[in-house]
Amino acid sequence: PKISVVTTVYNKEKSIRKCIESILSQSFSDFELILVDDSSKDNSLEICKEYAAKDNRIKIILRENGGHAIARNTGIINSKGDYIIFVDGDDSFSDDHALADLFRIAEIDKSDIVISDFLGSWNTEFVPFQKLTGIKMLEFLISENFYHPTPCSRLFRREVFINNLFENLISDDELWTPVTFYRANVVSILNKSIYCRTTPDDSVTRIDSEQNYFRKANDKSLTAGLVINYFENQQIKTASK
């Protein structure tokens, strides 16, 4: 397949149907959908099996519960596409031409990454260019307050994952994304919103408890240190950014 869509699933019985159907309804059909079930305790797996029985593009992978980052890595390792995109089990595509548009730009620009309007906050005059180097794109997005560390709604060339998987952190994307942008030679922009994002109350990033609060605080501190360390090792001055 040209594209591997990786979706991690853990207790998503309320949202996984909408997620899967938004992927299967894409006008671009040369993809595989990898559903990584992280030992769900509800009916998520049964729902995934229902769709897999009807569409041979769907592959289900069962794994012991290890968290979001490890589940993503499992999907990456088992994928075969030239490009990889992540769609979380809570989320869905809001545009039936999302994959087609992302793939078209990636092929034209020879992009390592194609990003889209994840937050739905860009305007039509937002982008004065179509592509930049990864570090220049990162600087631009941060300067315009449009940066978000999510890997979702972005198409990645397979090669960016070589020696570059997710760390097992709550804030895994806050480390992985800037490092991946730095490694990218070409990052292109699809200047429209294609992704419907939700953050359910049972998300690990939203659960309100004293234990989770301190875990998140420690995790973010560790992640910030790792990011700074990485860029300092690459001889980039982070103090001015």
First-to-last C-alpha distance (Å) of the chain: 39
- DSSP assignment string, 127-150: -S-SEE-HHHHHHHHHHTT-----
| Cα 78 off chain centre by | 16
* DSSP 3-state of 31: strand
The helix (H) or strand (E) run that includes residue 34 is strand 31-37
Reported confidence tier of residue 46, pLDDT bands at 50, 70, 90 = very high
| Residue range 71-82: mean pLDDT, rounded | 98
- In our burial notation (b when 16+ CB lie closer than 10 A, e otherwise), range 134-173 reads bbebbebbeeeebbbbbbbbbbbbbebbeeebbbebbbbb
Residue with the larger pLDDT of the pair 90 and 141: 90
Residue with the larger pLDDT of the pair 170 and 124: 170
| pLDDT higher than 80, residue 125 | no
| Dihedral, 120, 186, 175, 206 alpha carbons, nearest 10 | 10
| Residue range 216-230: mean pLDDT, rounded | 52
Other C-beta atoms lying within 10 Å of the C-beta of residue 63: 15
Residue with the larger pLDDT of the pair 229 and 65: 65
- Among 36-45, 98-107, 228-237, where is mean pLDDT lowest? 228-237
pLDDT digits (tens, 9 = 90+) for 196-222: 998 765 555 444 554 554 455 554 444
Other C-beta atoms lying within 10 Å of the C-beta of residue 125: 7
| Residue range 133-148: mean pLDDT, rounded | 86
Q: What is the pLDDT of residue 174?
A: 85
Backbone angles phi, psi at 175, to 5 degrees: -90, -45
Closest CA to 156 of 129, 139, 176: 176
Answer for the pair 12, 44: CB distance below 8 angstroms, yes or no. Answer: yes
C-alpha 234/C-alpha 84 separation (Å) is: 26
Reported confidence tier of residue 148, pLDDT bands at 50, 70, 90 = confident
Q: What is the pLDDT of residue 213?
A: 47
Q: What is the pLDDT of residue 222?
A: 47
pLDDT digits (tens, 9 = 90+) for 53-68: 999 999 999 999 999 9
Reported confidence tier of residue 144, pLDDT bands at 50, 70, 90 = confident
C-alpha 227/C-alpha 179 separation (Å) is: 7
Specify the DSSP class assigned to residue 160.
G
Residue with the larger pLDDT of the pair 4 and 191: 4
User: What integer best gives the mean pLDDT of the chain?
Assistant: 86
| Residue range 164-192: mean pLDDT, rounded | 90
Answer for the pair 181, 112: CB distance below 8 angstroms, yes or no. Answer: no
Reported confidence tier of residue 92, pLDDT bands at 50, 70, 90 = very high
